[in-house]
Chains A and B, each alone.
Chain A
Amino acid sequence: MNSAVIELKDVWVHYDGMPILEGVDLVVEPHDFLGIIGPNGGGKSTLLKVILGLVNPSRGVIKVFGDTPKSARRDIGYLPQYSLFDMEFPMSVWEVVLTGRLGHTGLLKRYSEDDKKAAYDALEEVDMLEYKDRQIGKLSGGQRQRVFIARALAGEPKLLLLDEPTTSIDSIMQEEFYELLNKFKAKMAIVMVSHDISAVSVYVDKIACLNHRLFYHHSKELTSEDLEAAYQCPVDMIAHGVPHRVLKKH
């Protein structure tokens, strides 16, 4: 009866009394590949954290697979924003990817054969199987991002949330990375936030713009009014990064 993957109704988030999200409405359907662009500090990461149940809204309703975010987590794959994690951390690629299975294994149990198979398949899918015993810090930025994608895929998600997935990798690797994401579209809905408008606009199917308020028309088009309202300044700030295909051809 309820087929939407994500349903947000009038969601408000405040931090220290300052509104981060203001009345956000959003519906994501199965197999959507939605890109959310917007300036830094516009609430993009917060929006993903609300969907994951990591941040509680001060107002509004959030449904993921018709359920609360916390109960739906099992079916969500998450790629956190690139952070300067400890390069020396004593963990192999294989161990990192297995942590994606934690929600399936349960406490006080070792990883099962199913868990290992899912981790193996996920590594194979992102073409990183040969690095499985490598220490996680001894990879290039692009390779590491693939491993983190594999970690998200290992949980066999029906929804993939990506937070600025390409900031840590160079532009050639970025292209490969988006091609990789394209493969997953058939199996799951994908929501990706990014401040890199040009990259997002080429690969995603639908696009929204977020700066505290969300501008979204269930399509790949945004009006120039939307962009101006979201970025709070006319085209000049965004002109260099916006391919014309984002804007409607009038």
Chain B
Amino acid sequence: MLELLQYEFVRNAIAAGILASIACGIIGVYVVVKRIVFISGGIAHASFGGIGLGYYLGINPILGVLPFSIASALSMGWVSKRSRLPEDTAIGILWALGMSIGIILVSLTPGYAPDLMTYLFGNILTVPFSDIVLMLILDAVILVVVYSFYKEFLALCFDEEFATVRGVAAERLYLVLLCLIALTVVVLIRVVGVILVIALLTIPAAMSRQFTSNLKKMMLLSIIFGAVFSSGGIWLSYMFDVPSGATIVLVMSVVYLLYSLVKGIGSRGSA
């Protein structure tokens, strides 16, 4: 595997994998413990509208995703808290709306849309250096915000009403959390694409939860799991010439399922 590192695209891929693991390790823990997997999936899929926007404007689609995913995070948060619609209905509508906007904008763009599949399913082996820089910046933003509001986020996830009573601006903070999910989506799109983002947001965090009941340790473990699985996925996808994003998700899912199975058998044996 070491001789692979002489290629720049492999080094970029591994850097992208690690940067993605940091974002999804930290934010994924919040997604899992606050049980906002569905709204996170909604934000991720709706972000496809931003890719369409990027194509339509003729800019780097990732730069189209950034404002679009923030906007969809804010509107989903707002609608789910304020509208009279049931939360999951509202999310379902916005989820599909964002994707539809993306499809329309891509079809309005003259010519053929190259590497559209890359944004849908990711291709970590083609990440350009400029996107690595963007991922680095977004990771830094996520780290700073989570560090600053750590105790408020923890209180918010555990008991939103009590946090409000203690003077935490819970609704605003919730919107901040959703915006961080939007940033994470942007970081992850290059790696696994909008369709598979939700796997990286949930599997490493769900696995780390099996090993610790401390939120900080959970984050650290999730980052490690994410980095190991994505590196393994990159290697396998290179070896067998299969799509990298799907391979990473497959590796994570299989390891998680096997672990759950072994643990299930173990606990039945001891009971």
Contacts and interface: CB of A to CB of B under 8 A. Distances in A.
From A90, A108, A111, residue with most partner B Cβ within 10 Å: A90
A102 B153 CA distance: 11
Contacts of A95: 154
Contacts of A98: 151
B154 A151 contact: no
B164 interface: yes
Interface string B129-161: 000000000000000000011011011011101
A52 interface: yes
Contacts, number: 70
A78 B213 contact: no
A220 interface: no
B215 A91 contact: yes
Contacts of B165: 52, 54, 73, 76, 78
Contacts of B151: 98-99, 102, 105, 110-111
Nearest to A71: B167
B209 interface: yes
A80 B158 contact: no
Size category, A interface: 20 to 34
Contacts of A103: 166-167
B219 to A, nearest CB: 10
The interface centre, meaning the residue of B148, B152, B159, B215 with most chain A CB atoms within 10 A of its CB, is B159
A91 B216 CA distance: 10
B158 A89 contact: yes
A96 interface: yes
A174 interface: no
A90 B162 contact: no
Q: Is the interface of A mostly helix, strand, loop or mixed?
A: mixed
Contacts of A43: none
A78 B215 contact: no
B167 A73 contact: yes
B159 A102 contact: no
B162 A86 contact: no
A90 B166 contact: no
A99 B213 contact: no
Given A90-B214, A90-B215, A110-B151, 17 more contacts: A54-B161, A78-B162, A78-B165, A86-B33, A89-B33, A89-B157, A90-B33, A91-B215, A92-B214, A96-B158, A99-B158, A99-B163, A99-B166, A102-B152, A103-B166, A107-B152, A111-B151
Interface of B: 33, 35, 148-149, 151-152, 154-155, 157-159, 161-168, 209, 212-215, 218
20 contacts: A54-B161, A54-B164, A80-B161, A80-B162, A85-B158, A85-B159, A86-B33, A89-B158, A90-B33, A90-B213, A90-B214, A92-B213, A99-B151, A99-B155, A99-B158, A99-B162, A102-B166, A103-B166, A108-B149, A111-B151
